[in-house]
Amino acid sequence: MNAILPNSPAARDIAYYVHPQTNLATFRNEGPLLVARGQGCRIVDDGGKEYIDAAAGLWCASLGFNASERLARVAYEQMKTLGYYHTFRQRALNVQIDLVEKLLSLAPVPMSKVLLQCSGSEANDTAIKLVWYYHSAIGKPEKNKIIGRKNGYHGNTVAAVSLSGKPDMHAGFNLPLPMMRHTEFPHYYRNHEDGESEEAFATRMAEALERLILAEGPQTVGAFFAEPVMGAGGAILPPAGYFAKVQAVLRKYDVLFVADEVICGFGRTGNWWGSQTYDLKPDMISCAKALSAAFQPISALLINDKIYQAMLSVGEKGAAFAHGYTHSGHPVTAAVALETLRIYEESDIVNHVRRVGAYFGGKLAKLAEHPLIGDARGVGLVHGLEMVADKKTRRPFEPMGKAGAILDRHALRHGVIVRVVGDRIAFSPPLVIDEPEIDEMLRRLRLALDDTLGDLSAKAA
């Protein structure tokens, strides 16, 4: 980090801004990485250094970091025509109608209605409220516990973070909420027993879920939330057979299933939805991020007719659906999302992801020969590498996260940004990435891995 000059943007940032998901003491000493502009899959800092962002920012910048003229114009025209109006109390906007109709036509399973919000957290918070609303409307209000997974991530609002299985995000905040439960982390590579197949491991995971439901009492368990591929948990793929077994348990105990497609939705796994990649049959689907290629803050919750009919029955008894936000269905966010979906269709983004994803996976399999890498797996354009102290025994580094922190620093120095989760390296590059950019990204990453190995070996000597 460069010296922080008085009154520089970095000094003013330290003086005035609280950065999310940041160690405030480290930040106060080191200051920010000041991002000045974006160009395709790259960002450029205020000193002119460029970085390939292998994480698409926060798994979201699907079309890269600078909007096309076409997308920018849509936002501009919408702002001039109708820059804001709300959708409370029966107000509607053409662009919001077009967007929800489009989303329903793309849904992986029959869905009935859409609710719009501004973030993945809000979409999941809305889903959590609807789990309670639904069960209350059908006369089972006691079915109010919701199960997430250890290391699952569903956002940072009070309810969504409670459902997330991230103890560091609960600590100090008096969370999680008391009705949230967390079942096992289905990380096959790290947690399988010697000789245990993926299928057998998946059975063990589904049995753990069933035991939890039985221990709580099925009459008290309302829903289960899962990401098709766990993102913030470290780009963890479901083991073979996992979702088939889990969904059988949910059906057995009449537990709603909510698929959190905030990362997986819109092509990330090589299909429009992760639900298609893993044959999920959710009652509700939350999505955000790539919905607008991250150029506008918008999220959606798709609900099936069973949920909607229960909600409608409340209206028939005379009560309003008392939920919503000032910006629900905001016209500029909706216009950009709609145009983003058109761009995906016109550019056949799903087939592009399949093609470059296969190329990327092949390159990562080669990189897994590196002495630090114990495991490489992925689907579409979401992949994870796990660094280990011993490749044969899968022995992790002690303490966990030490190698990851070193790698993170070297990667930045070599001009590649990856998402490090403990000692896992998660990749979710912009969906528009091509083969030459993948090669350059992995060339930089290999340099960072070599430097990390050098540091770790020097420390061990």
The CB-of-301 to ligand PLP minimum distance in angstroms stands at: 11
Does residue 262 interact with ligand PLP by CB under 6 A? yes
Cα separation of 56 and 428, whole Å?
Answer: 6
Q: Which residues pair with 373 in a beta bridge?
A: 387
**Is the Cβ of residue 155 or residue 422 nearer to ligand PLP in the bound state?**
155
Q: Which of 184, 210, 260, 423 binds ligand PLP (CB under 6 A)?
A: 260
* Residues in contact with 145: Cβ distance below 8 Å, sequence separation at least 6, in sequence order: 179, 180, 181, 216, 220, 221, 222
Number of residues counted as binding ligand PLP (CB under 6 A): 16
**Is the Cβ of residue 163 or residue 442 nearer to ligand PLP in the bound state?**
163
The CB-of-229 to ligand PLP minimum distance in angstroms stands at: 9
The CB-of-146 to ligand PLP minimum distance in angstroms stands at: 14
Does residue 124 interact with ligand PLP by CB under 6 A? yes
Q: Which of 52, 163, 263, 421 binds ligand PLP (CB under 6 A)?
A: 263
| Binding region for ligand PLP (CB under 6 A) out of 45-53, 113-121, 306-314, 344-352 | 113-121
Task: Check if the beta carbon of residue 420 is closer than 8 Å to that of residue 386.
Answer: no
- Looking at residue 117, the DSSP 8-state letter turns out to be E
**Is the Cβ of residue 120 or residue 374 nearer to ligand PLP in the bound state?**
120
Task: Check if the beta carbon of residue 133 is closer than 8 Å to that of residue 368.
Answer: no
Q: Which of 57, 108, 148, 155 binds ligand PLP (CB under 6 A)?
A: 155
**Is the Cβ of residue 227 or residue 339 nearer to ligand PLP in the bound state?**
227
Q: Provide the 10 A C-beta neighbour count for residue 230.
A: 28
| Binding region for ligand PLP (CB under 6 A) out of 117-125, 170-178, 348-356, 429-437 | 117-125
Per-residue contact string for residues 34-63; x = within reach of ligand PLP by CB under 6 A: ------------------------xx----
Cα separation of 135 and 222, whole Å?
Answer: 7
Q: Among positive and negative, which fits the CA dihedral 344, 379, 227, 21?
A: negative
Cα separation of 230 and 365, whole Å?
Answer: 20
Half-sphere exposure of 30 (CA within 13 A, CB side): 11
Q: Provide the 10 A C-beta neighbour count for residue 317.
A: 8
Does residue 120 interact with ligand PLP by CB under 6 A? yes
Q: Provide the 10 A C-beta neighbour count for residue 200.
A: 15
The CB-of-59 to ligand PLP minimum distance in angstroms stands at: 6
Task: Check if the beta carbon of residue 38 is closer than 8 Å to that of residue 401.
Answer: no
| Binding region for ligand PLP (CB under 6 A) out of 4-12, 85-93, 149-157, 365-373 | 149-157
**Is the Cβ of residue 274 or residue 396 nearer to ligand PLP in the bound state?**
274
**Is the Cβ of residue 300 or residue 372 nearer to ligand PLP in the bound state?**
300
**Is the Cβ of residue 118 or residue 310 nearer to ligand PLP in the bound state?**
118
Which residues 217-246 are close enough to bind ligand PLP by CB under 6 A?
Answer: 227, 231-232
Q: Which of 62, 87, 96, 121 binds ligand PLP (CB under 6 A)?
A: 121
Does residue 427 interact with ligand PLP by CB under 6 A? no
Residue with tokens 């905001």: 330
Cα separation of 232 and 202, whole Å?
Answer: 20
The CB-of-192 to ligand PLP minimum distance in angstroms stands at: 24
The CB-of-365 to ligand PLP minimum distance in angstroms stands at: 25
- Selection from 252, 461, 439 nearest residue 362 by Cα: 439
- Selection from 51, 57, 4 nearest residue 31 by Cα: 4
To 10 degrees, the CA torsion angle through 320, 325, 328, 333? Answer: 180
| Binding region for ligand PLP (CB under 6 A) out of 20-28, 119-127, 313-321, 402-410 | 119-127
C-alpha angle 187-190-195 in degrees, rounded to nearest 5: 100
Does residue 288 interact with ligand PLP by CB under 6 A? yes
Pairing mode of beta strands 180-183, 221-226: unpaired
Q: Among positive and negative, which fits the CA dihedral 26, 29, 30, 35?
A: positive
Q: Which residue is nearest to ligand PLP (CB)?
A: 120
Element (H, E) at 22: none
Cα separation of 269 and 83, whole Å?
Answer: 34
Does residue 255 interact with ligand PLP by CB under 6 A? no
| Binding region for ligand PLP (CB under 6 A) out of 178-186, 255-263, 378-386, 414-422 | 255-263
Pairing mode of beta strands 145-149, 180-183: parallel
Does residue 154 interact with ligand PLP by CB under 6 A? yes
Binding site for ligand PLP (CB under 6 A): 58-59, 119-121, 124, 153-155, 227, 231-232, 260, 262-263, 288
